[in-house]
Amino acid sequence: MDKIVNLCKRRGFVFPSSEIYGGFASTWDYGPLGVELKRNIREAWWRFMVTSRENVVGLDSAILMHPRVWEASGHIAGFSDPLVDCRNCKRRFRADHIPEKADRQCPKGMECDLTEARQFNLMFKTFVGPVEEDAAVAFLRPETAQGIFVNFQNVQQASRLKPPFGIAQIGKSFRNEITPGNFIFRTREFEQMEMEFFVKPGTEQEWFDYWRNARMQWYTDWLGVKAANLRFYDHPKEDLAHYSKGTTDIEYLYPFGWGELEGVASRTDFDLGQHTQYSGKDLSFFDDETRERYKPYVIEPAAGVDRILLVTLLDAYDEDVQNDEPRVVLRLKPRLAPIKVGIFPLLRKDGQPEKALELRDLLKQRFAVFYDQAGAIGRRYRRQDEVGTPFCLTVDHQTMQDNTVTLRDRDTLEQIRLPIDRLIPELVTRIEA
């Protein structure tokens, strides 16, 4: 994990937020490469979950919502963690996640002296309007799902969809976590990718099994995460939320052990039922063909962009030796890589830089490219290997004669010569593989 954190800071993936002021606990800023990697993760999820399907559509709901939404969902009454304080080291812990004695940071020779547990609501409270009064209380959303549920009828009628169908959303959520940490694994501000899949009651187990397996396939096939580092964890019945018929986590083997990467939950009709009760609006579905009316059950795959980004970096990080020199390489799937192609003139003369810049201008219409003419060619390769760039192109003296370039593969280190007019189809094939 330390190597990943250092790499992220040094190469521009992730920076500590407000660093010039000493930072701000558990908040992070994404640098030039980080925003590209996040965008590629979002696009891969959206393609898999939405645009490749006939029965899933998108939504972008507001962060600030009517306070009654959070009453109906149970977040105001029940979205809390047990909190304890140590009277000696002044740190706070979740009562059910107290660290080992060696990690509590109490003064030497002292034991943690913990207070009684008290409930701590995880929602950030704010006020709408000029006066801080109870009537103006609002909350930063702790999840994106409720924006989907309250728009169920709007989307269903506008899209003319009938169950089974899904509504997907990507957006920021906020949770006032007691003990955030492990870099970007758990933060107070994060980006979620959630889909609520509405099904006819009685078919929910079939769809739960489908989405459970489909989401695992996405990590292995689309993102290239090693299958050995992933597993299912089925929550025991006694740990399920009262409205859940089943919940499965997809877990990843982080440096600190197995932890949640994504959750897939069978939520019954709880959410639509609650919002029907609290709003007075009927959120049932009427099937014109069968003349049935019912409240759809819901299957929810929910993941965090930040946590997926961490997993892709951890899983892709590798070290080897090339030409008797150590090499750090991120073996990212080409479709995820922030930079797709590095472009290098071998020499700074004989028209090679000008030709390389022409090549950059040609390719940047289709791909994220990076031009570099500083240093030995081997050092330039290493810099791109370290940030996961899958392909590098070298312009040399032969280019000036026959309009071909050398294409180098990051993982195999194979180098082949290609005519410039064949580069785009070749790169498209390799990136989409």
The structure tokens listed for 426 are: 């070749």
- The amino acid occupying position 101 is K
The answer to whether residue 17 scores a pLDDT higher than 70 is yes
| Residue range(s) in the chain whose domain bears CATH number 3.30.930.10 | 2-66+126-313
The CATH number of domain 2-66+126-313, selected from 3.30.930.10, 3.40.950.10, 3.40.190.10, 3.40.1190.20: 3.30.930.10
> Residue 22 — left, alpha, or beta (φ > 0 → left; ψ -120 to 50 → alpha)?
left
The answer to whether residue 119 scores a pLDDT higher than 90 is no
Residue 79 has a pLDDT of 58
Fold (CATH) for 339-432 = Rossmann fold (3.40.50)
Angstrom distance (rounded) from CA 378 to CA 322: 10
- The amino acid occupying position 144 is T
- The DSSP call for residue 99 is P
Q: Which residue has the higher pLDDT, 129 or 142?
A: 142
**What percent of the chain is modeled with pLDDT above 70?**
91
| Residue range(s) in the chain whose domain bears CATH number 3.40.50.800 | 339-432
Residues 207-234, mean pLDDT to the nearest whole number: 97
Mean pLDDT value across the chain: 91
Angstrom distance (rounded) from CA 87 to CA 212: 44
| 362-421 pLDDT, tens digit each | 999 999 999 999 999 999 999 999 999 999 999 999 999 999 999 999 999 999 999 999
Angstrom distance (rounded) from CA 337 to CA 388: 6
- The amino acid occupying position 297 is Y
